Structure 1
Amino acid sequence: MTPISSSITPATGAQNANGANAALNANFDMFLKLLTTQMQNQDPLDPMETSEYTQQLVQYSAVEQSIQQTSTLKDILASLSTQDLAQSANFLGTYAMFDSATAGMSATTPADWSWEASRAVETLSATITNASGQVVETRVLDAARAGNFRWDGSLSNGRTAPDGSYTLALTARAADGANVPVAIRSKGLIDQVETVGGVVRLGINGADFGVPDLIRVRSRADD
């Protein structure tokens, strides 16, 4: 089953407010005891002004209101995050392209990228690094201004790279030897939707992406 998950619990705001209110009430009880003792032992010739008592009570009331407002805002944010998650679930099962050079690779599904150079290229080489930034494979690709590159994890030494997220870097040179900028994008079937810290993330083959990086969504894979 395709997973949909959320790391936000809607009751978190209420739970935090309950804890904060409990602490506030305990402090308020202590404050009343101190205030009563102070009134009983004040100098009758120089008593404390009534306005001073009122001001302290107002301050406690303001703190309590602030706690309640914070709790309400947290609950609203949790609700909005849940709505975003539900709406993003529509992406499940669609083929998407992201403005990212990172793609997921597994034993059953290769990492999939597309690229486009700013102008014609004479040579094109690829470097693949793992999530730790270590180079795991280098390839020489057919020189073309645009194309696709799928990598099934096969390595030059005959071994196979483990499942994980991998990043593609392309070095392109024109006929005059100048470096040519290349835009790299990853693509694949969205198989997971989740929220992390209130932000929706879309998963493809073990790699996750933010919705702002989404470039294109299709009902089927590229031809």
Structure 2
Amino acid sequence: MAISPVSSSTSVNKQIDSLGLDMQSLLQIILTQLTYQDPLKPVDNFEFVSQLAQFTSLEQARQMTDKIDNLLSVQSATQTVSLLGRNVDVQTDTALLTGVVKSVSFANSQPQLTIETESGSFLTNANISQIVSVR
């Protein structure tokens, strides 16, 4: 029976920065640089450590940006859900409608509201940007 290797569950090796390189590729570049350096002019230790620190800093900044984006998405979802049962004024292409938010759904990470208007009809797939006021 063959045993498959355990893959790394960390997202560090799988995530790609804005240059299109993941951390593993950056470390491979440094290793190649050390392998083919001129023996008479080796890379200064300070420069080498400085490069590693820059790569690490770049990776941490990218991870922090991803986490902030996720936090903003969760905050937006929470704020949208808080509209349930609230009276809102919604601007449509034709008129300004007043109604109660009955449900919230998410399509492509964007909130879509279903609003029951004062006349008893339902406005579906309303966007947050269409809401003029909340009461």
Same fold? TM cut 0.5:
yes
Identity of aligned residues (%): 15
Secondary structure of the residue that 2:92 maps to in structure 1?
A: coil
- Aligned length in residues: 115
Q: Does 1:50 align with 2:10?
A: no
Pick the structure with more helix per residue.
2
Match of 1:193 among 94, 104, 108: 104
Match of 2:26 among 25, 28, 42: 28
C-alpha separation between the residues in 1 aligned to 2:75 and 2:133?
23
C-alpha separation between the residues in 1 aligned to 2:128 and 2:104?
10
Secondary structure of the residue that 2:42 maps to in structure 1?
A: coil
Shift in Å at residue 87 of structure 1? 1.0
Distance change >3 Å, CA 207–CA 86, structure 1 → 2: closer
Unaligned runs of 5+ in 2: 1-9, 116-121
Shift in Å at residue 69 of structure 1? 0.6
Distance change >3 Å, CA 64–CA 76, structure 1 → 2: same
Spell out the pairing of 1:170-189 with structure 2 (5 A cutoff): 184-189=95-100
Q: Does 1:98 align with 2:95?
A: no
Give yes or no for contact 1:98–1:216 (8 Å, CA) kept in 2.
no
| Paired amino acid for 1:98 | V
Match of 1:214 among 129, 132, 135: 132
Of structures 1 and 2, the one scoring higher in RCO (CA 8 A, sep 6+) is 1
Give yes or no for contact 2:85–2:102 (8 Å, CA) kept in 1.
no
Secondary structure of the residue that 2:125 maps to in structure 1?
A: strand
TM-score (norm 1): 0.40
Spell out the pairing of 1:49-198 with structure 2 (5 A cutoff): 49-91=44-86, 96-101=88-93, 168=94, 184-195=95-106
Give yes or no for contact 1:202–1:210 (8 Å, CA) kept in 2.
yes
C-alpha separation between the residues in 2 aligned to 1:206 and 1:16?
41
Pick the structure with more strand per residue.
1
Distance change >3 Å, CA 17–CA 88, structure 1 → 2: farther
Give yes or no for contact 1:81–1:195 (8 Å, CA) kept in 2.
no
Distance change >3 Å, CA 26–CA 47, structure 1 → 2: closer
